[in-house]
Amino acid sequence: MACARGCCPGPTGQRDHYRSVAVSAAATPTRRAEVNATVAMEKEWDKDHAAYRRLRKDGFQPRSSKGAAKVEARATTRAEVEGTPE
């Protein structure tokens, strides 16, 4: 028996339909600031990790993946990328 709304295929039933509902933490007012900060931090990590992989592929050896996107955007010399004095 499918659910009453008809969106759940097969013999799931109404109970399983309601059990599948999930509420995001971003929808709760008391946790919204934490969630937004976490989402922003994860987006920054994604940018940094992608930049770190590109730098490593190009033969550079950055000191850390943290801040690699900014280093990639601003650095003009190998020493600036690798954090070593010239």
In angstroms, the CA 86 to CA 55 distance is: 19
In this structure, are 39 and 75 located in the same domain? yes
What does the pLDDT read at residue 83? 79
What does the pLDDT read at residue 30? 81
Mean pLDDT of the chain: 84
In this structure, are 21 and 36 located in the same domain? no
The band of 42, judged by pLDDT with boundaries at 50, 70 and 90, is very high
For residue 12, pLDDT over 50 is answered with: yes
For residue 1, pLDDT over 60 is answered with: no
Residue 81, token pair as written in the block: 């990328």
In angstroms, the CA 56 to CA 84 distance is: 16
What pTM was estimated for this model as a whole? 0.62
Structural domain including 14 reads 1-25
Mean pLDDT of 62-75: 92
In this structure, are 76 and 52 located in the same domain? yes
In this structure, are 49 and 35 located in the same domain? yes
Q: How many independent structural domains does the chain possess?
A: 2
In this structure, are 43 and 70 located in the same domain? yes
What does the pLDDT read at residue 73? 93
Share of the chain above pLDDT 90, in %: 42
